A and B are shown apart, each in its own frame.
Chain A
Amino acid sequence: MAKSVETLEKSIKDVPKAKKPESKKNWFSWGLLAPVLFFFILMSVVPTIWMFGLAFYDYTLTSANKPKLIGFKNFVDFLANQQLAGSVSRTFIFLLCAVVLQTLLGILIGVLFWKNDKMPGRRFALTLFFTPMVVTPIATSLFWKFILDPTLGVINYFVSVLGFERFDTLTDQTLAFPTLVFVDTWMWTPFMTLMTLAALGSVPKAELEAAQVDRLPIIRLIRTVIWPHAKFILGLGILLRTIDAFKTMDLAYVMTGGGPGDRTELIAVSLYRFAFKSFKLGYSSAVSVFLMFIAIALTSIYLYILNAKKKSEA
């Protein structure tokens, strides 16, 4: 009995002893996290809250007037602004065109590279192919602008050498928007290729071999073997591109400045114009809040899909 009491006492003593290092560990974890949290709060949370607050004010940086509380007026003005509505719809058209094209091309090219390990120069070709994705968008925009220049650009030089009339895409009302989509596609198709390769790589070899032994028709192979495994990574790629395309600013700003007229004015360019050309900080904050909610909506879809994956795995 005495022994069992001793054992009990010992086990009771052991309990807090076991908790102590846990708590120490927690402090250590928090200590490690603290710098990141500090900068996250300082650089991300505070400015976001600040932006929210500013959206309720009439504040123009170049004006000598103090910010004036105007409630929801900025939001009302924004929603009534037809030009901004045009920018929003143009942005959705842009992202739809760009993401569909990039996905289709990315899948096509990804499939071509898939399982071609012995193809000579494959690695080199892939490295070259992924280059546009790693070049900064500003540089990409600038060199495409130079390439497409009707007077000094290399494309038009060859066009004139071949005896055709020089053309200008970036100030042409009809061609400017497709040109932006083209350059965005050039820049981001490699990303979708990368996602396709990752998606195809996630298909278990055993299942592919079994399908090969069973001589599964290609459509059925895709539908029953590849798609169930590949869809999540591919879906993730599409969503990331969608969110990114929605925020496209640098490409349009550098290549066309949103022109001709407003033909390529995406919502991020409009936002830039309000904030940094007109310096209407209150109004542009309201636009930013709106954009943030759209970005949150897109992210929610992404999280929903990820959760769906987890559920299906469970």
Chain B
Amino acid sequence: MSEETKMKLDRRRLIKAGAAAGVAIPAAGLLAACSSGGDAEGGAAPSADSPLYGSNAENMQGKTLDFAYSRVAGWPPSSAPATLWPDFQAYAKEKYGYTVNDITFIEGGFGELFQKISPTLASGSQDYNLLIVDSQWLGALSEPGWIVKADDVFAANPELDIEPFSSLVTNTYQVYPDGSGIRWGFPQMPDTQGVFMRKDMLEDPAEQAAFKAKTGKDLPTTAEAMYEIEFTDLVEIIEFFHRPDKEMYGTAMMYSKEYDFFSCAYYPFAYSTGGKIWDPVTLDVYGILNSDVNAAAMDQFVGLMKYQPKDAASFGIGNLLDLFNGGKCFSAWQWLAVGKFMGGPDAVVKPDMVLSIPLPKWNGKLIGAMGGQPWVINSYNDEDHMRVAVDVLKWWYTKETQDKFILENGGLPWSKEGAANPAYLEVAHYVKPFLYMLEEGRSQDFWHLPEYAEMLAVQQEAFNGVATGTVKTSKEALEYAAAKQQQILFNAGRTKTAPPENVDSLTL
């Protein structure tokens, strides 16, 4: 190749590269311009003609429209709005005179659902008029201005501002930033943690006698007898029923690195023994999460793997359901909202073979993790869809709809009024432990910041490493997670405290 040809080729390459960069950089600029930078403070109190009031007898009369919502896949309480939709169609027609077509939806697991809804919201789309989301997403959805401030809706419709059973409901599903009192969400499906057990095994006289002979203690046979059970006593029962040679494991817990499985299962061990995961005021993590208390709690949590199948390190909600319903484990530490599906008519374990209790206590102290999801309203809805979204919420919180949701569709009550309804309390064994865990101070939620996804991914990776043995000690995992999370928050400008100097060299 001659020098001239080489030069031509190089120049051609240079031009090509320049052209690519010339297109690429503006493309990214366009992306930057497209991304919404809404006002996190939300709007002012609605004017008299605001769609946030919902429909009245005139303004939607004779109209026909579509409606869509987002929901958590494979999660029946999240599907209930679609199941009960014909009721809303009749409600809207009768009360406001408009026709709403069959509801459409998008769904996904928690991680996947955010992937699906965030680009549409970022583009200002009203593809999903109402959204069922995870409580951790409140910051990520509200700061860019993607969702309507619930306070504005409450101002227009005081009947929607329902008194919750405890402040946990407000703090978990509604408020962002934490402690600000500004509300964005509407409770849809609340959730707390508990332990499901094989009632038939506890009630077996032979087992009771054997337990007595082994421990000198009586085997508790009812849920009520175990509401105040200490962790060590519960482990004793788990150990007693742990018979791997007979393919019966003592318990099953979540250690998977998927989404927040490990974290939420571990948190009660930390919270209840005095551990904290961050400072919600200064938003600092380092020096708090990586404490000796938290390390000891993690050792205790991971130590329970000896009563579980060999692949416990990959367990999530589904694995626990499979094992428990398949009669392979005596107990499962599970979200109480899954209660309807722990035991089933076609499963090895029938519904009447199951009892549920709140989490145990650690020296009399118990703080569990909060689960569950709120509704949020898409702020890009046009006026008609905004009205319908508010109408849907009004319908959702009517007693008739809540009755159908809780009594027939596996829902759980979260309001003061609902919690006092005897019919709700008796509908299933897991309602009482659920409300027990929802009492003031018995559970707490974690970060609602927009950085939650990054923080969670780092933490799950590190924590799961302890369960799999790839991270040698709990302290090491906590040190790594705390430093990286501090870095994430520092880089995002949430805290003024810099991460430790060695943060970039930390590896798992």
Could you tell me which A residues sit within 8 Å of B by CB distance? Answer: 46, 49-50, 52-54, 56-57, 59-67, 69, 80, 82-83, 149-152, 160, 166-168, 170-171, 173, 256-263, 273, 276-280
Contact of B257 with A257 in the complex, beta carbons under 8 Å = yes
A53 partner residues in chain B, CB cutoff 8 A: 23-29, 31
For B23, what are the chain A residues with a Cβ–Cβ distance below 8 Å? Answer: 49, 53
Q: Do B311 and A151 have beta carbons less than 8 Å apart?
A: yes
- Chain A: CB-nearest residue to B21: A52
Dominant secondary structure of chain A at its interface with chain B: loop
Q: Are A277 and B453 touching (Cβ within 8 A)?
A: yes
- Asked if A171 and B313 make an inter-chain contact with CB atoms under 8 angstroms apart, the answer reads yes
Task: Tell which of B20, B143, B247, B314 touches A49, judged by Cβ atoms closer than 8 Å.
Answer: B20
Annotate B448-472 by CB proximity to A: 1 below 8 A, 0 otherwise: 0011111011100100110011110
Please name all residues of chain A whose beta carbon is closer than 8 Å to the beta carbon of B465 when the two chains form the complex: 260-261
- CB <8 Å contact, A66 and B451: no
Assembly CA distance A62 to B115 (angstroms)? 9
Give the Cβ gap from B175 to chain A, nearest Cβ, in Å. Answer: 17
Known pairs A69-B28, A257-B257, A260-B468; A62 contacts B454 (CB<8 A) = yes
Check if A261 sits within 8 Å of B114, measured CB to CB. no
Q: A259-B464, A279-B454 are in contact. Are A173 and B26 (CB under 8 A)?
A: no
B310 at interface by CB-CB < 8 Å:
yes
Are A52 and B322 also in contact (CB < 8 A) when A80-B504, A171-B468 are?
no
Complex partner residue of A64 from B37, B119, B454, CB under 8 angstroms: B37
Closest CB-CB distance, B309 to chain A, in whole Å?
Answer: 4
The one of A63, A259, A260, A277 that contacts B140, using a Cβ cutoff of 8 Å: A63
In the bound complex, residues from chain A placing their C-beta under 8 Å from that of B40 are: 64
Considering the chains assembled together, what is the distance between the CA atoms of A24 and B470 in angstroms? 67
A276 to chain B, nearest CB (A): 5
Whether the pair A261, B314 counts as a contact (CB closer than 8 A) is no
| Chain B interface, >50% SS class | helix
Residue of B nearest to A86 (CB): B507
- Whether A277 contacts B468 by the Cβ 8 Å rule is no
Contact A66–B37 (Cβ < 8 Å): yes
Q: Which of A63, A67, A168 contacts B311 (CB 8 A)?
A: A168
12 more contacts with CB within 8 A, not counting A54-B27, A278-B457, are: A50-B31, A53-B24, A53-B26, A59-B32, A64-B37, A64-B38, A67-B28, A82-B507, A149-B311, A168-B311, A171-B468, A276-B115
Number of interface residues of B (CB under 8 A): 61
B249 CB to closest chain A CB, in angstroms?
A: 8
Q: Are A279 and B453 in contact (CB under 8 A)?
A: yes
Inside 8 A of A276's CB, which chain B residues have their CB? 111-112, 115
Residues of B within 8 A of A64 (CB): 37-38, 40, 139-140, 143-144, 450
Q: Which partner residue on chain B sits nearest A277 by CB separation?
A: B457
If A149-B311, A151-B328 touch, whether A61 touches B118 (CB-CB below 8 Å) is yes
Is the beta-carbon distance between B471 and A261 smaller than 8 angstroms? yes
Residues of chain B contacted by A54 (CB below 8 angstroms) = 27-28, 31
Q: Is the CB of A173 within 8 A of B468?
A: yes
A260 to B507, CA, bound (A): 15
When C-beta atoms are compared, the residue in chain B nearest to A281 turns out to be B31
> Which residues in A have their C-beta under 8 angstroms from that of B122?
61
Q: Which residues in A have their C-beta under 8 angstroms from that of B450?
A: 60, 62-64
Residues of A within 8 A of B140 (CB): 62-64
Least CB distance, B398 to chain A, in whole angstroms: 34
Chain B 300-336, CB-CB to A under 8 Å as 1, else 0, gives 0000000001111110000000110010100000000
- Name A160's contact: one of B24, B247, B258, B492 (CB within 8 Å): B247
From residue B364, how far is it (CB to closest CB) to chain A in Å?
A: 35
Closest 7 CB pairs of A and B: A261-B470, A53-B28, A260-B468, A64-B143, A52-B24, A168-B310, A53-B24
Chain A residues contacting B162 (CB-CB under 8 Å) are: none
In the bound complex, what is the Cα–Cα distance between A30 and B425 (angstroms)? 70
Indicate whether B73 reaches chain A with its CB closer than 8 angstroms. no
On chain A, the residues within 8 Å of B326 by CB distance are 151-152
A152 partner, pick from B24, B26, B118, B328, beta carbons under 8 A: B328
A50: B residues at CB distance < 8 A: 24, 27-28, 31
Residues on A with beta carbons closer than 8 Å to the beta carbon of B257: 257-259
Q: A257 touching B258 by the CB < 8 A rule?
A: yes
- Give chain B residues whose Cβ lies under 8 Å from the Cβ of A82: 507
A-B contact pairs, 24 of them (CB 8 A): A53-B28, A59-B35, A61-B122, A63-B140, A64-B38, A64-B144, A66-B37, A67-B35, A69-B28, A80-B504, A150-B310, A151-B328, A152-B323, A171-B314, A173-B468, A257-B256, A257-B258, A260-B465, A260-B468, A261-B468, A261-B508, A262-B461, A276-B112, A277-B456
**In the complex, chain B residues whose CB is within 8 Å of the CB of A273:** 457
What is the CB-to-nearest-CB distance from B300 to chain A, in angstroms, rounded to a whole number? 20
Do B26 and A62 have beta carbons less than 8 Å apart? no
Which of B35, B137, B507 is A66 in contact with, Cβ under 8 Å?
A: B35
Q: How far is the CB of B188 from chain A (nearest CB, A)?
A: 20
Distance of B338 from chain A, by nearest CB (Å): 18
Q: Which residue of B lies closest to A172 (CB)?
A: B310
What 1/0 flags go to B12-36 for Cβ under 8 Å of A? 0000000011011111110110010
